[in-house]
Amino acid sequence: MKMKKIYKEKYTHLWENGTWVVCPNCQKNAIIHNTGETFPNHSVLKCNHCGLIKKSGDLSLFNLIVKLNCPFCGNNIELTYQDVKEKQSLINIKCRKCDNLLSVKPRYQPNYSTLYTDKVNGLMCDNTFGLPYFFQENVRGNLFWAKNDKHLLEMENYISSDLRPRKGMTMVAKLPTFIKIKKNKEIVLKILEKWKKSYR
C-alpha cells in the first residue's frame, strides 16, 4: 500500500525571495526586493538576465502647482506642470496680463509613475513598478499566480500532498478553493512544474 504524503510546511519566509516579475527589457524574470528604506526608495528591481536595475525612487515625479494673484495687476494665475523630476524652491513665471516677471514658491504634489505603462488587463502586478508577476496563468477561468520561487514550491508541496492538516492562518490555508480542489490538482501541478523549468 502506497504511503500517503502528509503536507508539512517547508518555506516559512516566503517573501524573503522578493517578488518575481516580467522584466520590461528582456521579458525574462526580474526580482523586486525591499531595500529596508522608507518611501520612495523602498524597492529595487534587478534583472540578472539583461542587467536592468531600477530603484523605486527613480519613479518619483511631482506635479508643480502655482496658484496666486499677480501682485501688480491682480490677475489670477494658475499653472500646473506634470511629471517634474526635481523640486525647486523658487521659479520664475510671467503674468500674461501685465507681463511682469514674478519669482514664486511653487507647491509640489507627488506623482508616482510606473515602469510598465501598458494596461495589463486582469494580471497580477506589483504595487511599486506596475510590472506583471512572472508566474501567472489562467486555470479554468481563475487567475493562478505565485509571488516567487518559494511561494511556487510551497504551493506544489501542499497541492501534491494527500493529507493536508489545517493549521491556522498559514499561506496555504488562504489559497483559493480552485487551487485546492481535487479536479484541478493535475492541471495546477503541471503549471507549477512548467514554472519551475522556466527559471532554471
Instruction: Tell me the per-residue pLDDT of 148-189, one tens digit each, with 9 for 90 and over.
Output: 999 999 999 888 987 777 666 567 778 899 998 999 999 999
Report yes or no: 107 and 65 within 8 Å, Cβ to Cβ: yes
Whether pTM > 0.75 for this model: the answer is: no
- pLDDT for 6 equals 76
* Phi, psi dihedrals of residue 188, rounded to the nearest 5°: -65, -45
Residue count of the chain:
200
Mean pLDDT over residues 59-73, rounded?
Answer: 92
Q: Count of alpha carbons within 13 Å of 102, Cβ hemisphere only? A: 23
Mean pLDDT over residues 22-43, rounded?
Answer: 87
* Phi, psi dihedrals of residue 33, rounded to the nearest 5°: -115, 150
Calculate the average pLDDT of the chain: 87
138 CB burial (10 A radius; 0-12, 13-18, 19+): exposed
